Structure 1
């Protein structure tokens, strides 16, 4: 058997919300069951898109690091950006993708700080690209909310 995780979680969410919760008498239990169901619904969405989203974010941050050449950054920092730009995913496990995503975001913060010190047109342009990436990443990470009607 190969369970379809999003389907199982979404089906369980529906059962909890539409069949179990309405038959509970304690208000706390109804609320708790509804929240558990909602978490299952959101977990199904994250399971389906999680690896893709993280891999895309990591690739975009690496592309940003590729653009740092010629900005006049300190050599040690430039080497770290170059190494990050040339790296690839070691694994598609969510935990590994998250660890790499965290590492790249930490490096991205260092790049933002360095760009603020440079205050040149190319630095401002790359800084704007970083802010655009962060806005898009936040939008893509929004979790869906079920429409029940």
Structure 2
């Protein structure tokens, strides 16, 4: 799972919301600060790339489903149209994305049964491209 920006920011809040007990303030606080710093870095990446990745992914998923509909059934085209974009909030794009991803998985299952190698390979590449578009890069560990 790649966390969304709100997930990351809530994580940051939870890390600093409670002060540590006095006996663990030193190392405990250092660990908390490191976690908050890492989450802040991930949040910055998600803020920079997250919306664009979702818009691209939703459009690409719609195109794949619509292209497959004449061969594998109009239900895939209907699923593509059941996930409207227009509200560009993260939550709305993620709701549409969930519908589109479930439909892609259903299509992929049908494609595998049909032994449609070309479409199967295209869907596998799409999974890879989607993961790459949503990646969050971890910084190198200190001292390594």
TM-score range relative to shorter protein: 0.7 to 0.9
Query: What whole-Å deviation, never above 9, does each CA across 1:85-128 have from its counterpart, x for those lacking one?
Result: 44641310000001111111111110011112212xxx221111
Q: Look up the match of 2:136.
A: 143
TM-score by length of 1: 0.70
C-alpha distance in structure 1 between counterparts of 2:135 and 2:70, whole Å: 35
Name the counterpart of 2:33.
Answer: 33
CA distance in 1, matches of 2:125, 2:119: 10
User: Who is 1:4 aligned against?
Assistant: none
Deviations 1:39-80 (A, max 9, x none): 011101101211110010111111111221442x3xxxx222
* Count of residue pairs the alignment pairs up: 119
Q: Which stretches in structure 1 are left out of the alignment for 5+ residues?
A: 1-8, 10-24
For residues 138 and 70 of structure 1, the distance between their equivalents in structure 2, rounded to whole angstroms, comes to 27
1:65, 1:81 within 8 Å by CA — same for their partners in 2?
yes
Contact 1:65 1:82 in 2 (8 A): yes
TM-score (norm 2): 0.72
- Shift of the alpha carbon at 1:146? 4.1
**Cα separation, 2, equivalents of 1:135 and 1:127:** 13
- Stretch deviating more after TM superposition (46-55 or 137-146): 137-146
> Cα RMSD (Å) of the superposition?
2.4
